[in-house]
Amino acid sequence: MTRFKSTSLLNKIESAPPDRILGLTDIFNKDANPKKVNLTVGIYKDNFGKVATFPSVKRAQDLVNKNYQSFQSLTYLPINGNQDYSKNVLDFIWNDSCQGLAHNYLLNDKINFVQTLSGTGAVALAAKFLSKFISKTIWVPNYSWSNHLNIFKENGFQYIKPYNYYDDSNGTISVDEWLSNLKLNRSQTDITSPQCILLHACCHNPTGIDPTKEQWKTIINTIYELNMVPIIDMAYQGLESGNLIDDAYLLRTCLSKGDWPNGLYLCQSFAKNMGLYGERVGSLSIVTPLNSNSNTNLNIDSQLKPIIRSFYSSPPGYGSHVANQVLLNKDLKLQWFNDVQNMVNRLKIIRLNLFNNLKWHDLIDFERQHGMFYFTRFTLKQVHHLRNKYAIYLTDDGRLSLSGINDSNIDYVSEALYEVAKL
């Protein structure tokens, strides 16, 4: 008998490029230079270079660990997540943070809410839902978190269009060009067919530059008039001003416009502002019009559940219990607000110290420069030179994570940045 011989299709699979951020950490870990500095990943580190747990979160962990049996131990959560967590996060985001503007939506059950695998899971879930039911076109800023394009591409969006957010020539936001891009496109297409747009709530990643509040009003007015569907990625609430409530101004601006016909989508994370990175704690909220059908939200919920079921079945429990304790306990919540303010104060000190060494004035433009990232505008050649000669690692687009700088390395980093800037 002759056996049919075939070549395995597995052999035709090509190697994918490494992740643009996490792949650099692998290279950094293998670097033998004792002076090496990792300024790539968006993780907050203290002045000793450690990823320290916030005091509020540590106290919440102690409470959870002490009473873990009462949280049903290691059993599965429901598909849409921890119900206590859902209640308290809804209250924090749409009540506290929105200062009453979402009251009618909460009162009339017009906000669908699910616990997600941090902000990444929220964006992926929103993308899958929107591409299935609303639109397959999305606009993304010309600089954005490197994983955004990957998420939208892998979750059903067929058309991913860049809008001019950042002007490389002068290091500022080009709002006029941004809105011109959108208006020109909509004048050439059917305005009744909705298109989605990704917005960074604050502390834009990677540039660190945000529109002013007045500019945001103009932007939101235009997006609303063009019948677009806003997807807000709020990964850094609190890291702009140090005040968690103040930093939700984009949500308040959107709610002030009134109903969004195809929904307002908020992707939220406690990774950065609670330091719950590995616990993957976040949420997706979908705000539907007040005049939507009585069964609209029930139908949306019924469609979100099978998507979640196909992704990861149900979210993890421990981190949601910790976040819930922080939000539920008044003392812990106050401590959390202080923890976030302390984090932002340290990031501002780093900016000031770098400015004293480098005299780069945009480092301390606190009206527009926010958060843990600074955009050096270094070319790829400069980034590689910085890495190869000084073992200082930035992402390839020139993004610098400020919290990786501390008293022990700031002089070395400043000297290297100064020299590479001359190239």
On whether the CB atoms of residues 60 and 279 are closer than 8 A, the answer is no
Which residues does 407 contact at the CB level (< 8 Å), separation at least 6? 47
For residue 188, the SS3 value is: helix
Give CA separation, 41 vs 24, 77, 119, 146, in Å: 9, 30, 15, 12
Catalytic residue among 139, 145, 260, 336: 145
Catalytic residue among 94, 110, 139, 233: 233
DSSP 209: B
Catalytic residue among 110, 128, 272, 333: 272
Report the distance separating Cα 249 and Cα 99, nearest Å: 10
Torsion of CA 162, 167, 168, 169, to 10 degrees: 140
CA neighbor of 400 nearest in space, from 373, 379, 360: 373
Distance, C-alpha 218 to centroid of its chain? 22
**84 tagged catalytic:** no
**145 tagged catalytic:** yes
Which residues does 205 contact at the CB level (< 8 Å), separation at least 6? 42, 144, 145, 235, 236, 371, 373, 399
**167 tagged catalytic:** no
Report the distance separating Cα 122 and Cα 345, nearest Å: 29
- Which amino acids are annotated catalytic? 145, 233, 272
